[in-house]
Amino acid sequence: MKIRHCCVIFNAAWSEGTDFITSINDEPDHILPIDHLVLRNYPNPFNPSTTLRYSLPEKSQVTLVIFDIRGNAIRTIKEGDLSSGWHEWLWDGRGESGQLVATGIYFARLQAGANSRVIKMVYLK
């Protein structure tokens, strides 16, 4: 990619140009090597749902749980053996009973083997 930079000061006819070359890595992250546990969600804040995206460096026994701000487990999303690579799950903002949760801060914890990751999520109504 080639970019031309130009500076114009007020109404003067002066400009200074500089050319430089840059590149953009447009490879999707799901084909890049995975060597550690990753957990993220989007959008954040969310309403009414958010996608939890996580990577596993190797086949693992996985548990993905949503907690409220008090540490109460609201929903167990995933349990079981999963292959290495990227995985996604859409959380619809509902608890185990199927009721929509209240507006507030929630945490998602991914446990994979001996490794775990926790992220903060904000639910806005």
Q: What pLDDT shows up at residue 31?
A: 53
Cα–Cα nearest to 106, from 17, 41, 53, 61: 41
Q: Where are the beta strands (DSSP E) in 1-125?
A: 2-6, 17-21, 38-42, 50-56, 60-68, 73-82, 85-91, 104-112, 115-123
The verdict on residue 18 lying in a domain is: no
Encoding tokens for residue 63? Answer: 């548990």
Phi, psi of 58 (to 5 degrees): -155, 165
Give the residue numbers spanning the domain of 43.
Answer: 29-123
Residue 25 clears pLDDT 70, i.e. is over it: no
Full-model pTM? 0.70
> In this structure, is residue 9 part of a structural domain?
no
Under the banding of pLDDT at 50, 70 and 90, the label for residue 33 is very low
- Confidence band for 24, pLDDT divided at 50, 70 and 90: low
Q: How confident is the model at residue 20 (pLDDT cuts 50, 70, 90)?
A: very low
| Cis check: omega of the bond before 48, within 30 degrees of 0 | yes
- Report if residue 2 sits inside a domain: no
